[in-house]
Each structure stands twice: as C-alpha cells, then as structure tokens.
A and B are shown apart, each in its own frame.
Chain A
Amino acid sequence: MTAFARRLAGKLAAGLVMVWVVVTFTFFLVHALPGKPGDVQYEQYIQSGMNAEQAAAKVKAIYGYTSHDSMLSQYGGYLGKLLHGDLGQSISYSGVPVSHLIWAALPWTVIPVLSGLLVSFLIGVTAGVVAAVRRSSRWGGLLTVSGSLFAGVPAFVLALLLLVVFHTEWNLLPDAGTSDIQYDPGWNLPYIGSVVQHAVLPVCAYALLSYGGWLLAMKSSVVSVLGDDFILASELRGIAPVTRARYIGRNAILPLFTVLALSFGVMFAGSFFIEDTFDYPGLGDLLLKSIGTRDYPVMAGAFLLITVSIIIANILADLCYTLIDPRVRR
C-alpha cells in the first residue's frame, strides 16, 4: 500500500500545482478585464466622503490589494489571503465574505449534480450494456439513438423542455427556487419534502444531460470487450454465463472512470444554464450573477472552486484505476 500512498501524494502535489496555475491565471484574467477591479469601488468610497487612505483600506479588505500597488504585490496580497482561506468580500452583497456566499451556494449545486450523475450513471451504463449486447436488434438501435440524442441536446434546451412539459403543461412540479416559502428551513418533514420536490427537475436535467454520454461510452466499451480474445476463451472453457458477464462488465466499465471525472466538469458547466432556468441558487447561478454585477471577488472564488472540484474529481478517477486495474498498480 506504500506504492498507493506515494501515488496519492504525487497526485495531490500535481493537483496543488494545477490549482496554483489556475489561481494565477484567474488573477491575471480578471486584471485584463476593462475597468480595473477595485477602481470603481475606490471612486465610490471617495465620493461617499472617505479619505484616500480609508478608501484604499476598504478596497484592500475586499480584494486583498488596490490597483495602486504594483502588479506583483497585488498578486502576493491575493495569494496571501487565499492561503488563509480568505477569498475576499463580495461587492454586490457589501461586506459579505465570498466564502460565505460560496458555502451557501455549494450544496445546491453539489447535491443535485451528484444525484443526477448517480442516476444517469446507473441508467446509462445499464442501457449501454443492453445497447451493446442487442446492438443488431431494434431495441439496441433505439437505445443508441436515444443516447446520441440526449448527448447532443444542449443543457438549456433540455432544461426549458422539462420546464414546459412538467410545469407549464402538466403543472406537476414547481418551476423555481429550492422550496416553498411557507416552510421553515430545517430538519422538518414538510420542508424537506418541498426541497425534494423542487430538486426533481434540476436533478432530471443533470441526469438527462449526462445519460447519453454514459450510454455511448459504455456501449462502445462493451462492444470492444466482447471482441476481446479472453471473452471467446472463457466461452470455450465453459465458464458460467454469470461469471462471463462479470468479466465483461468489469473490463468494460474501466474507461468510464475517466468519463466520470470529465462529466463532473461538464455538469458544472451545465449548472449555469440549469440553475438559471430553474432559478436555483447554486454555484452556477452565483457565478452568473457575479458576472452580471462585475463582482470580481465572487467570480474568482467561484472559478477557483469549480476548478478545484474538477481537479479533485480527476485525482479520484486516477486513484480508482489503481485500485481496480492491476496493470496500473505497481
């Protein structure tokens, strides 16, 4: 297991370097935007009667730097704050730390995304196996077409379609928010019931968004494993059908761990549209709003979090390989 620990340490170190690269990139990207971040606030503070020192201190509290500092010391200030877990303060919600905003938004993205991933993984992989084994039948063909269809439809179209059918037409499910207003948030049944009800459409949207990818990936993987020599060999050795199915399944699902990590990223990207459509206060929604209001600290924080979660997902996928595939283990 020491090899595993060494591998884990290596991955984490590489992950940290990647995070640093992204942080640096984001910092300079935000600086490249027209209208230096902080300048607008600085002017506002001056106009509201502060003296230059006070205004600069206030801006520094928000960003960790002011635009009067040199680029390098601005960057140093930003990194220094980041190392202490301080992402700065929001501009549009004056004085609220960015980390609070992100923590509040995080569960509304992570839980639906993970639920959607789980549902679509189970259904998509099962359908992929069927589509592969029955690929010359009508059902297999239909499944494959459904996979291509859902893999091709953009997130916002899918979300709008769900909204039109299940809210506007049939009025089965609510169209916006995380719960009905009359319930007290907390661990009580009516509130949780309302939350679940509101989460159904976003979760369905996430699930449908990635279902096609799972199906197509699993289908091609199973088809290629079915053609492998050892599957024919196991048949010629009289291996029981259940055991052979396990051989096929375990070999076919391997490449899907890469897809899992990638689809985590795709889901976050999809969350902009899905949360916007269902007015769901998750990370995507937060980021979208912060872009609208030029809330640079929130923007940088949300970017950072999305990047970090994708990097972590990739590390987890790599580690899964070492646990499952003896050829990668060393």
Chain B
Amino acid sequence: MSEVEVRDLTVEYQTSVGWLPAVAGASLDLRAGQITGLVGESGSGKSTLALSLLNAVPAPGRIAGGTIEVAGVGDLTRLGGKQLRKARGGAIGYVFQASQNSLNPLKTIGRQLLDLGRSHEVGDLRALIARAKDLANRMGLDGDRVLDSYQHELSGGMRQRVGIVFALVLNAKVLILDEPTTALDMLSQASVLDIVRKVHDENQLSTLIITHDIGAISEIADRLAVMYGGRIVEDGPLLEVLRRPTHPYTKALIGATARITGDVDGARALPGRPPDLTTVARAGCVFRDRCPFAVEVCAQTEPELHSFDSERRRACHVEPSTVLTGTTGTPAAVGEPA
C-alpha cells in the first residue's frame, strides 16, 4: 500500500531557451510505514521532486505532466486554492534544512503554531499546543521553553526538531525532509536521524528523506531511490540496492562515499560533472557520458525504468550482472546498517 503515488511526473523550468525538464517522467511510491531515501548529486532534481509533492514548484517552474496521488487527498496536481493549502501541512509535512531559517524571526514558536492552527481551522487550539509540546518533549526538547522562544534563541539541531513539530502537529501522515543532516555536526546528525526514525515509527508515517549523504541515509531508510538528471534511475529495498547496485550511477555514488573508519582514499570521486537543465542529454541515457559501461545503444535510446526481482527497478541497458561485477568503479564494502 502506498501513501503517495507519483506517476510520470514532469516538472519544467522556463529558461532563455524554452521550457526544460528538471524532473522527467519520474514515478515513485512512498509506501505506508516506510522511510524512503532519495539520493543524487546536486542538480539531479531531487529537491524539485520534493517540492512538487506539495505542488509548490517555485516560479518559473511548473508541473507539466503526471499525477501525484496522496491517500485521502487525491491528485495534488489538480488541487488549487484552499484545498491545496490545507493539504500542505495538513496531509504532508515538509521539514527544511537545519541551516535554513524556516520560522518567522519576529514571533515566538508558540504564536506561529497558533497561526498554523488558525490557518488550518483547528477548533481546539489548546489541544494543538499540547500536542506540539508533547512532540517537542519526545524529541528531547523542553516543550514549554521552546514554545516561548524565538528562532534566534534555538540552535540548528533544535530548529530542525521544531521544524518536525510544525510538520507533524496537524497529524500529517506524510513527512518530507529536505537534507535533514546538512549543516549539522556528526553528533547532531545522528541524533536527528534517530529522532526521525522514532517519530516515524510512533506516528506510522510515510517518510521521504532527500539527501546527498548516502552514508547517513543507510542508517535509517527502508527503501532507496537514486536520481540522476531528473530521472529516477534505480530504486528498491535499501540493503539490496546498497549491496547489489545494478545501475552504474548508484554504484559510483556508493563508491564515492567516504567512511569514518578506513582510508579516505577508499572513496572514489565520480569523473565528470552532473548535467544541468541545458546540458542534460536529449536522447539516449542521461548518464552515458560519465558511464564506464556505456555501449552503443545508450546514445540512441533512453533506458526505461523497469521492474526486476519483484521489488526493484532500474533504468539501464547494461545487464545487472555486468554492472555488479564490472572492474570499473568498484564500490568499497558498504557498512552494515545499524
């Protein structure tokens, strides 16, 4: 069962040379009760995908095609006005990076929670505040103190948790976290991830975590989706994808991850640079220029994202076994998730 079903989603941005896709025909499920990690380099379209899950692609962007079915809400791409506004925050909670100032600097956290409640026409504001305090306490914050604080009185890790309070206080069942560990030190990273796992389990959420940190995500995610050039190139259960990557990009990404234990030289940087809107290939596979396995067909036909092994999907012309055993870009051993 899926809480969110994204089908053939295409998001375009207007540029000087016309409308160009940042997300091209992406399909993705957020399964009920599971944490999905979405990884990819900067510019791969993962943040655009996340924003479009709220139908909130900023101008000059637009959702050009596809559907986003959210359980209990319907197709988000067809919603507008008040219905859309209520779905944002009400059905789907969005958590910003810790480094971002996602709160009004002139109002206390508590007053902004009241603004949130009133905007969503919550009848019992006392209960809302009580729930917010409870959520905050469960995440290791002093609820009373935090609600009386201004944003500038909170640390990055505290802001991150307050952001989660805002995302969940209206009982949203879908939680989206954009780079939740970026700009935090290692200890805060670990604690934020623990907290995400905890609130996820306690509230039976469907969670999407967007990150470029494949190491962090491997600690808590159930499933992993890999994005490149606006396409989802591979996804499946986390352990299977990490242990047996079948897309050359996934394999290279895993190989590029530095580990705390072991030599930094064990990490291998990807050659070349990720494409942007104007340089992404129009025909054939978008990864072929950087792909050590590229064959002739890769330049002509774009590989389709197809299912295999029942639970997994990949978009590559090369055989999975070739990618897995290929000598080029050998991945270092992946640490066992906790």
Q: Mark A227-269, 1 if CB is under 8 A from B, else 0.
A: 0111011111111100100010011001000000000000000
The reply to whether A324 and B103 form a contact with Cβ atoms under 8 Å apart is no
The reply to whether B119 and A243 form a contact with Cβ atoms under 8 Å apart is yes
> Nearest Cβ in chain A — how far from B57, in angstroms?
11
The reply to whether B104 and A230 form a contact with Cβ atoms under 8 Å apart is yes
- Checking A232, A234, A236, A238 against B104 with a beta-carbon cut-off of 8 angstroms, the contacting residue is A234
A247 to B107, CA, bound (A): 9
The reply to whether A238 and B119 form a contact with Cβ atoms under 8 Å apart is yes
Interface size in chain B (residues, C-beta < 8 A): 31
Residues facing B in A280-330 (CB within 8 A) are 324-327
- Interface presence of B281 (CB below 8 A): no
The reply to whether B119 and A251 form a contact with Cβ atoms under 8 Å apart is no
- Interface presence of B15 (CB below 8 A): no
- Among A228, A235, A236, A239, chain B packs the most CB atoms within 10 A around the CB of A236
The reply to whether B102 and A251 form a contact with Cβ atoms under 8 Å apart is no
> Nearest Cβ in chain A — how far from B16, in angstroms?
15
The reply to whether A325 and B56 form a contact with Cβ atoms under 8 Å apart is no
Q: Which residues of B contact A229 (CB under 8 A)?
A: 96, 100-102
A254 to B108, CA, bound (A): 17
Residues facing A in B66-118 (CB within 8 A) are 85-90, 94, 96, 100-108, 115-116, 118
Q: Mark B28-72, 1 if CB is under 8 A from A, else 0.
A: 000000000000000000000001001010100000000000000
Q: Which residues of B contact A326 (CB under 8 A)?
A: 105-106, 108, 150, 152
Q: In the complex, which residue of chain A has the Cβ closest to the Cβ of B90?
A: A238
Q: In the complex, which residue of chain B has the Cβ closest to the Cβ of A235?
A: B56
Known: A239-B119, A243-B115, A327-B152. A230 touches B88 (CB 8 A): no
Known: A236-B88, A238-B119. A251 touches B54 (CB 8 A): no
By secondary structure, the A interface counts as helix
The reply to whether A243 and B85 form a contact with Cβ atoms under 8 Å apart is no
Q: Which residues of A contact B85 (CB under 8 A)?
A: 238, 240
- Checking A233, A243, A254, A327 against B102 with a beta-carbon cut-off of 8 angstroms, the contacting residue is A233
Q: In the complex, which residue of chain A has the Cβ closest to the Cβ of B86?
A: A238
- Checking B94, B106, B120 against A325 with a beta-carbon cut-off of 8 angstroms, the contacting residue is B106
- Checking A228, A238, A251 against B120 with a beta-carbon cut-off of 8 angstroms, the contacting residue is A238
- Interface presence of B228 (CB below 8 A): no
A229 to B105, CA, bound (A): 11
A232 to B58, CA, bound (A): 9
Residues facing A in B291-332 (CB within 8 A) are none
A239 to B89, CA, bound (A): 8
> Nearest Cβ in chain A — how far from B323, in angstroms?
37
The reply to whether B54 and A243 form a contact with Cβ atoms under 8 Å apart is no
Q: Which residues of A contact B102 (CB under 8 A)?
A: 229-230, 233
> Nearest Cβ in chain B — how far from A216, in angstroms?
23
- Checking B51, B105, B116 against A230 with a beta-carbon cut-off of 8 angstroms, the contacting residue is B105
Q: Mark B113-143, 1 if CB is under 8 A from A, else 0.
A: 0011011100000000000000000000000
8 new A-B pairs (CB below 8 Å) besides A243-B119, A247-B104?
A229-B101, A230-B103, A230-B105, A232-B56, A232-B58, A237-B116, A238-B120, A254-B106
Q: In the complex, which residue of chain A has the Cβ closest to the Cβ of B169?
A: A237
> Nearest Cβ in chain B — how far from A25, in angstroms?
39
- Interface presence of B166 (CB below 8 A): yes
Jot down 8 A-B pairs with beta carbons below 8 A, ordered by A. A232-B56, A236-B56, A236-B94, A238-B85, A238-B87, A250-B106, A324-B106, A326-B150
Q: In the complex, which residue of chain B has the Cβ closest to the Cβ of A231?
A: B104
Residues facing B in A213-230 (CB within 8 A) are 228-230
> Nearest Cβ in chain B — how far from A305, in angstroms?
35
A235 to B102, CA, bound (A): 11
Known: A233-B102, A240-B119. A327 touches B150 (CB 8 A): yes
A238 to B118, CA, bound (A): 10
Q: Which residues of A contact B86 (CB under 8 A)?
A: 238
Closest 6 CB pairs of A and B: A238-B89, A233-B102, A238-B88, A240-B119, A229-B100, A237-B89
Q: Which residues of A contact B51 (CB under 8 A)?
A: 236
